[in-house]
Structure 1
Amino acid sequence: MANFPIYTLDSAPADSKPALQGLAQTFGMVPNILGAIAGSSKLINGLVGLFGQAHGGNLAEAHVQTLLLTNAVTNGAEWPVAFHSFLGVKEGLSEADVQAIRERRLPADPKVAALSRLARTLIEKRGKVDDHDIAAFTAAGFDQALVLDVILVIAASTITNYTASVTHPPLEEMFQPYAWAA
Structure 2
Amino acid sequence: MTSFTVPTRQSVSEANQALFDALEGKLGFVPNLYATFALSNNALGTYLALQSARSSLGPKAREVVNLVVSQFNECRYCLAAHTVLGKMNGFSDAQIIEIRKGTATFDARLDALARLARSLVESRGHADAARLDAFFAAGWTQENLVDLIVLIGDKIISNYLHAATDVPVDFPAAPDLDEVLAA
Q: What interval of TM-score do these two structures reach, taking the shorter chain for normalisation?
A: 0.7 to 0.9
Q: Residue 164 of structure 1 aligns to which amino acid in structure 2?
A: H
Residue ranges of structure 1 left out of the alignment (5+ in a row): none
- What residue identity is the alignment partner of 1:167? T
Q: How much has 1:52 moved relative to structure 2?
A: 1.5
> Residue 59 of structure 1 aligns with which residue?
57
* Among 120, 123, 126, the residue aligned to 2:121: 123
C-alpha contact 1:5 1:39 (8 A) present in aligned 2 = no
Distance (Å, rounded) in 2 between the aligned partners of 1:160 and 1:152: 13
1:7 corresponds to: 7
RMSD of Structure 2 on Structure 1 (CA): 2.0
1:54-85 CA-partner distances (Å, limit 9, x unpaired) = xx532111111111111111111111011101
Tell me the CA shift for residue 92 of structure 1.
1.3
Residue 164 of structure 2 corresponds to which residue in structure 1? 166
Q: CA deviation at 1:24?
A: 3.5
**Would you say the 8 A contact 2:8–2:35 is kept in 1?**
yes
Alignment length (residue pairs): 177
1:148 aligns with 2:146: yes
Q: Give 1:17 shift.
A: 2.4
Helix, strand or coil for the counterpart of 2:110?
Answer: helix
Per mean C-alpha deviation after superposition, the further-off stretch among 92-101 and 73-82 is 92-101
Aligned to 1:29: 29
CA distance in 2 between counterparts of 1:6 and 1:112 reads 35
Q: Displacement of 1:181 after TM fit?
A: 7.3
Whether the 8 Å contact between 2:103 and 2:114 is mirrored in structure 1 is: yes
Structure 2 unaligned residues grouped into runs of 5+: 179-183
Name the counterpart of 1:74: 72
Q: Residue 125 of structure 2 aligns to a residue in which SS? A: coil
Per-residue deviation at 1:11?
Answer: 2.9
Equivalent residues in 2 for 1:41-60 (5 A)?
Answer: 41-53=41-53, 57-60=55-58
Residue 95 of structure 2 contacts residue 104 of structure 2 at CA under 8 Å; is this kept in 1?
yes
Equivalent residue letter for 1:140: A
- Residue 181 of structure 2 aligns with which residue? none
Identity of counterpart residues, as a percentage? 28
Task: Provide the residue aligned with 2:104 in structure 1.
Answer: 107
Question: Could you tell me which amino acid in structure 1 is paired with residue 156 of structure 2?
Answer: T
TM-score by length of 2: 0.86
Question: For residues 106 and 98 of structure 1, what CA distance do their matches in structure 2 show?
Answer: 10
- Bigger drift between 21-30 and 126-135 goes to 21-30
Tell me the alpha carbon deviations over residues 70-113 of structure 1, each in whole angstroms, 9 at most, x when there is no partner: 111111111101110111111112322201133x2412222222
